[in-house]
Structure 1
Amino acid sequence: MCLIIGPNWSWKTLLLKKTQNFHSVKEIDKLGEIPSTIPTVGTNLVNVPTGKKQETVIREVGGCMCPIWNSYLKDLTALIFVIDISNTLQIAASCIQFLTVLNNTAVQNTPILLLLNKSDQPLALSRFEVESLMRIDDIRQNTKHQITILEISAFNGKGLTEVIDWVHQASTKS
């Protein structure tokens, strides 16, 4: 199972709804319609198509459930951590939460996808700025985790194919 977590208002639910309805690169233009969502208070289980007749189960855990994320970290094939890069005030808190997750022994050998969401917003930080603020180079040097970073927009679908490809690869390796 793949787990998607992140602070409140990072659009995890919208991202999952869009990936759930995504079947090919040719359909990216059809994703313009924004499904209605409400922030997840508990958890959601979503089957995401990752290949021909293949699906991966992704559990979304609401940002408000951050204090109990640890109880969902066992038996993962992959972990996705979503950050809203248009909210500069949230970056520091996101970094602390990300480091807390990385230090959990339950995710020791789990591939991690760090999604920099809302890259389409005018006030969004650049990938370089986020990596500098979070000190990603230092994190990579001091962890055994394989960390992949993607800039995405759950709103307009930017980076969606890369996310699905990553989930597919992570789920087939386990």
Structure 2
Amino acid sequence: MGQSYSAAPQVILMGLDSAGKSTLLARLLTGEVMETSPTIGFNVGTLDLDKKTSLTVWDVGGQKCMRPNWRYYLDDCKALVFVVDSSDRARMPEAQKALKKVLSDEKLRGIPLMVLANKKDLAGSMTIREISNQLDLQAHSDRLWEVQACSALRGLGLQQAFFSVNKLIKKS
């Protein structure tokens, strides 16, 4: 994957299976909710933020068997967007371990991180602070990072999150 498809900065969308990555990307690109199935490999699309700014967003499959392949998508990555299901407390330790492993890759040194707390529309979803603590984000003082709540299903917070991702890329 060494060459990029466009001049737009590449953003990698990662997270555990069923976190809502494909739903999120489809909603961003089409404005609609689409039926998705588990991603084998990746989905990619160009997100236009405004007339002059776009991002190429790669949505990479999150099943356990796919995670060893995540490192192959990191070339030319300008920001990592890690999506968590904020209503699934039981899987936060697994998400923390997966995030820590991918961030340890040399290719991501100094690359900004955006954690999207998806499914905020569900009852009992965790707060931003809880997610930040569960993922041990304070340990990543060597990089710019942010956490934002969103709902891919309802389209809430998605545009704002990717404007923030663009700002993080410019700061890094």
TM-score scaled by length of structure 2: 0.85
Q: What amino acid maps onto 1:19 in structure 2?
A: L
Distance in 2, matches of 1:148 and 1:171, equals 12
User: Paired residues, what number?
Assistant: 161
Distance in 2, matches of 1:134 and 1:173, equals 23
Distance in 1, matches of 2:54 and 2:116, equals 20
TM-score scaled by length of structure 1: 0.84
Q: What pairs with 1:1-174 in structure 2 (closer than 5 Å)?
A: 1-21=10-30, 31=31, 33-64=32-63, 65-137=66-138, 139-140=139-140, 143-170=141-168
The 1:173/1:20 distance shift into structure 2, 3 A limit, reads farther
Distance in 1, matches of 2:52 and 2:35, equals 27
Q: CA deviation at 1:123?
A: 2.5
Q: CA deviation at 1:40?
A: 1.1
Q: CA deviation at 1:173?
A: 5.8
Q: CA deviation at 1:55?
A: 2.3
Of all paired residues, the percent bearing the same amino acid is 27
Higher helix fraction (1 or 2): 1
Deviations 1:96-132 (A, max 9, x none): 0111112111100211111111111112112222222
| Contact kept? 2:61, 2:67, Cα under 8 Å | yes
Name structure 2 gaps, 5 residues minimum: 1-9
Q: What amino acid maps onto 1:96 in structure 2?
A: K
The 1:171/1:147 distance shift into structure 2, 3 A limit, reads closer
The 1:45/1:96 distance shift into structure 2, 3 A limit, reads same
Distance in 2, matches of 1:119 and 1:73, equals 28
Taking only aligned residues, the RMSD between alpha carbons, in angstroms, comes to: 1.8
Q: CA deviation at 1:136?
A: 2.5
In the alignment, what sits opposite 1:26?
none
Distance in 2, matches of 1:144 and 1:109, equals 7
Q: CA deviation at 1:70?
A: 1.1
| Aligned partner of residue 116 in structure 1, secondary structure | strand
Q: CA deviation at 1:166?
A: 2.0
